[in-house]
Amino acid sequence: MDINEQSYAYGASKSTIREIAAYGAARKAEIGADKVFDFSLGNPSVPAPEEVRLSIEKALTLPAVQLHGYTPAAGLPIVRDTLAKSLNRRYGTNYSANDLYITCGAAAALTISFHTLYNPGDEVIVIAPYFPEYKVFIEATGAHCVEVLADQKTFQIDVEAVENAITSKTKAVVINSPNNPVGSVYSEQNLKDLAEVLTNADHNICLVTDEPYREIVYGAKVPWVPSIYPNTMVTYSYSKSLSLPGERIGWVLVPDTNPFHDKLIPAVAGAGRSLGFVCAPALFQRVIADCCDVPSNIEAYAKNRKALTEGLSKLGYSFIEPQGAFYLWVKSLEPDANAFFEKAKQFELLPVPSDSFGCKGWVRVGYCVNYEIIGNSMPAWEKLAEQY
């Protein structure tokens, strides 16, 4: 039978991160959970805040038909209004419920944005290393994913390289700050330089800014991108900030200041409709309205970050000091990160080799794990370093 070969290929090839996580789970079952140091998945180890539980309990008192019923496709107006007001308080903006479309996490928010913007043959620039699903989501629209390496010293956007990659087919640039996998946060100046290049291009180029880690920073300021470049769409989720990845809840924002706002809003609704991404989980729409201003528990990640960076630096590893998110970008001890990963595996260490992020010679170490795992893993990191 003829089926969609592209979908077959995506399903058959699987995500490297998920394959490593599955290997980790199997290995834990085999030799014991405490003997495997799985740093692969970005699954928050911090529990969801107490306010989430209280909000769920409150929602459970609603009549079942209301609690479990369909909501409007874009989400409950009262929820979108609450989220818009929260953004306005933080960023001095003037957004309204109409500018937001609630989604099943950042993945759906990105997919909706991409289907809103791209036509087959368009080119979309991503800054490598990048979250590997971008490529899948971009290609599903028929557009091409164009990888542009970040500055390899600072891991800020290499604006000149972006400028050189722009062609008449470039439809958008996708950025992610705080960044998965590097933990970098793009500075205001870096974003202003990018904005200048995009503004000077001879056609309109949209900036899609993917921000699930916005709240997870260690002192760094995360600039509000739509205030720097008007033709921006923002994607967000509560997977990391409220530790709710399994609940699938986030949003797409088309700022009222976007010059194409009035065309983009119905297109977002149309993309959601055509993809079947309508009325995101009703219970968790209510929860995010109640909890959108609850601070993330950064302390736990900051503690992990300190233990990991101090431990690895004592052992002679080099890495990029993360300013946000919960990943450490560690230099592989040999040019081939896959070969390095295979050696790490022998000591039950499971980072993710950088190739799947569009970059060679590094591994990503996710430190959203229980604190003890970091300390317990140090002898294994030491044995790994001794191999070189």
In angstroms, what is the minimal distance from the CB of 190 to ligand PLP? Answer: 18
In angstroms, what is the minimal distance from the CB of 212 to ligand PLP? Answer: 5
In angstroms, what is the minimal distance from the CB of 41 to ligand PLP? Answer: 8
Q: How far apart are CA 42 and CA 81, in angstroms?
A: 30
Neighbouring CB atoms inside 10 A of 131's CB total 23
**Token code pair at residue 74:** 């874009």
Residue nearer to ligand PLP on the CB measure, 289 or 352 = 352
322-361: b (≥16 Cβ within 10 Å) or e? bbbbbbbbbebbeeebeebbebbbebbbbbbbbbbbbbbb
Total length of the chain: 388
351 sits in the region (left: phi over 0; alpha: psi -120 to 50; else beta) called: beta
Residue nearer to ligand PLP on the CB measure, 175 or 254 = 175
In angstroms, what is the minimal distance from the CB of 231 to ligand PLP? Answer: 20
Q: How far apart are CA 291 and CA 324, in angstroms?
A: 21
In angstroms, what is the minimal distance from the CB of 378 to ligand PLP? Answer: 26
In angstroms, what is the minimal distance from the CB of 333 to ligand PLP? Answer: 25
Give the CA-trace dihedral at 341, 346, 350, 354, to 10 degrees.
0
**Token code pair at residue 118:** 């791209």
Q: Which residues would be at the binding site for ligand PLP (CB under 6 A)?
A: 42, 105-107, 131, 176, 180, 210, 212, 237, 239, 245, 250
CA distances in angstroms from 169 to 119, 122, 143, 166, 295, listed in the order given = 10, 5, 10, 8, 41
Residue nearer to ligand PLP on the CB measure, 323 or 381 = 323
In angstroms, what is the minimal distance from the CB of 347 to ligand PLP? Answer: 26
Residue nearer to ligand PLP on the CB measure, 107 or 289 = 107
In angstroms, what is the minimal distance from the CB of 15 to ligand PLP? Answer: 10
Residue nearer to ligand PLP on the CB measure, 42 or 381 = 42
Residue nearer to ligand PLP on the CB measure, 217 or 384 = 217
For residues 218 and 328, the answer to whether their CB atoms sit within 8 Å is: no
In angstroms, what is the minimal distance from the CB of 252 to ligand PLP? Answer: 12
For residues 24 and 350, the answer to whether their CB atoms sit within 8 Å is: yes
Residue nearer to ligand PLP on the CB measure, 71 or 237 = 237
Residue nearer to ligand PLP on the CB measure, 159 or 175 = 175
Residue nearer to ligand PLP on the CB measure, 250 or 272 = 250
For residues 36 and 28, the answer to whether their CB atoms sit within 8 Å is: yes
In angstroms, what is the minimal distance from the CB of 69 to ligand PLP? Answer: 24
Residue nearer to ligand PLP on the CB measure, 170 or 239 = 239
